[in-house]
Amino acid sequence: MVQREDAEEGKIKNTEFVRWFSKIDKSMISLVGEKAANLGEIYNNKFPVPNGFVITSEAYENFLFSSKISEKINSLLNNLDTKNNELLISASEKIKKLVVNSELPEELKEEIIDSYQVLGSNKIEIERGSAYDILNNATEPIFVSVRSSLCFKSHRGSSMHEQDTYLNVKGNESLLEHVKSAFASLFNPDTLKRELEKGLESGKIKIAVIVEKMVDSDKSGIVHSNDSFVNIYSVWGLGEGMNIKNASSDKYVLSRDLQLLEKKIGEKKYFVMRDSSGFLKTSNSSEERKNSQVLNNYELQRIGDLAEKIESHFGKPQKIEFGIDESGIYILQADSLENFSDEESAGKLPHKEEKKVFQNEGPFSVEKVEKVTKTKLKLVLDSPYFIDEVKKSGLKKAGVVKIEKIIQKKGKHPFYFFESHYINEYENLVFNGIKPFSESFEEVYVRTSDFLTSEFLGLEGGERFSEENPLLGLHGIRFGLKYPDILEAELRAVKRIHEKTDVGILIPNIICVDEIRKVKSLLKKIDFKKVKVGVIIETPAAVQLIKEFCQEGVDCIVLNTDRLLEHILAIDRENKNVSGLFDELNSSFLYQVEYLMRVAKRNNVETNVFGSALLNDKVLKYLVKKGVEFISVEPLDAKKVSEKVYSFESELFHGTDLEPRKYELEKVKDDYIEKNPVAGAEENTNHLKKKDPLGIL
């Protein structure tokens, strides 16, 4: 703890540079970040977590203050045009260079090194032992991991793991340099773009750094829990071996009472180990180990028990990394399962932190949509969990219902059901997943399955679908038409809900008219006549064929902004080498959107748009101006987006011929917003009437 004068307030402020895991809990996110808060929480609840400490956000701020680079950083970020990728990347590189080339203050260096040496001693008795005695017993520096931990509420709508993590760091100087590199990673382009566009001031973007003892694992893996099972994936050696392309991990499925229900032994041709210098290297597995079971019965029971207890502590399903060395089983990291992509949940280590899927999250609060707009709203949904909370939005229609999460929860790839002749079980799985939506909404459009092969390799039956470029591979309707029994089962499931609600199907990744005809042929085969058919526009080919699609007789066209942008710009958003070039305002994209809506309107076909680009105000305003009929949003974003649409319509249409009359908007409101979405709720809009230039309420 040191004191310094606060530059803004002229006050003396106590600064805490380092905090040990033993002094951290979940209330300290602003000081240590969410990732570190989770580690401290489970460490202090006696779970077997390797010891460590956190270099706090206050240490980070003190570093900026002492090195006098805060003003330089602010000058580079103030009025930065985040839509100009060249300027964004240039500013990012300049700031990161400033950070790594600046000296850490001496008092911070000393505290980090002292803590590192204490961590490396054989007498970790920090609370009651003498630090001096411990330091005297310290010998060879130890290997540690250096992980970044964000200390602010991120606006991540579609984020990846943007900050850096360093493994096998050893020695005082190496540790100090890696700490600065972790600090610098806060200013990666994707983070700056997202947070600054969402209005977070640069001074409030803070980071902490976790320093944790490395476990030289002989066995490693991932475990995650859901409502029914505990799934465990494991490999020999370090956990990085789970990402080796030509090797597959073991998979174990335990019941909630920890009985082994299923076991699949992977072919582990290679494993990852650490050499004496700290470098990771891939080695060939022995013939004996290659096809042998990694975890014994005790380890399975112990890991399953830890997973259930950690889940119980946090109150939501968890994804947990573990390592096993000669001294026992260690928990290396824990986080809510929904914070990870499908690929990661299926046994991959998290190189990227994918978009959070709202419907699988724990406690949250959905606000009611109150603004009535000419541009109508629907919901994007992908899981029936927390349906009562979702209904609080008041929106009557689900514009895009995705079924991939429903399938994933079962742990089996659709091909498993097909190959095992359990196709009726697959139909029931989809039906039971979408049934709650039919009971809660007046209109439901269900997208037939669309999963990239890379995302579902870990599911049983998905092993054969390995591709070099999954985005351009066998997914969407091309998969369904190659395996029509699977597609037919999905269509039958949708048919079973149509009696209670107005239903439609959405055809994903479509590129030709013949695909629509084949889907309609299947619908005719199962006698499903009372169904609307929509197509999801995700490729330039689909845009160019929109006239033919309309003439073929589709009821709606749905634009997936994220996929269409990736295909137009030839950019994989998950590839950090090019993700900075991803631009929602690229004119080629906007031209195609305008053409798409113009042709659809001319043919009296409903238009609907969904995707993360809607969170870009300029894109949203453009769509409103061009007269898009519907936009589909995730429930947490519904109120915020509706208010932005209201503002844009007021600006664009007020006082013009395009301004709708009051009775027209009342009709619109009845069409898409519930008066009282939750039992007992009172509709109160009087406070909005004074600020109502459109005369809506």
Q: How confident is the model at residue 491, as a pLDDT?
A: 96
pTM beyond 0.75, yes or no: no
Q: How confident is the model at residue 272, as a pLDDT?
A: 81
Largest CA distance in the chain: 83
Task: Look up residue 22 and give its two tokens.
Answer: 């033993």
Q: CA of 22: how far to CAs of 145, 302, 670, in Å?
A: 18, 23, 55
Strand pairing class (502-507; 376-381): unpaired
Q: Where do the domains of the chain lie?
A: 2-213, 219-345, 371-691
Q: How confident is the model at residue 81, as a pLDDT?
A: 83
Q: How confident is the model at residue 245, as a pLDDT?
A: 60
d(CA 542, CA 310): 46
Other C-beta atoms closer than 10 Å to the C-beta of 94 total: 14
Q: How confident is the model at residue 346, as a pLDDT?
A: 46
User: Regarding the domain delimited by 371-691, which CATH topology (the fold level of the hierarchy) does it fall under?
Assistant: TIM Barrel (3.20.20)
Low-confidence ranges of the chain (pLDDT < 70): 1-14, 122-139, 153-162, 199-203, 227, 245-246, 275-280, 337-365, 385-386, 455, 457-458, 463, 574, 576, 661-664, 676-697
Question: 647, 362 in Cβ contact below 8 A?
Answer: no
Strand pairing class (52-55; 165-170): unpaired
Question: Which residue has 């309609």 as its token pair?
Answer: 520
Q: CA of 87: how far to CAs of 93, 95, 193, 201, 205, in Å?
A: 10, 12, 11, 18, 19
Q: How confident is the model at residue 79, as a pLDDT?
A: 80
What CATH architecture is 2-213? 2-Layer Sandwich (3.30)
d(CA 349, CA 363): 26
Question: Which residue has 């993700």 as its token pair?
Answer: 579
What CATH architecture is 219-345? 2-Layer Sandwich (3.30)
Distance of CA 343 to the CA centre of its chain: 11
Q: How confident is the model at residue 7, as a pLDDT?
A: 42
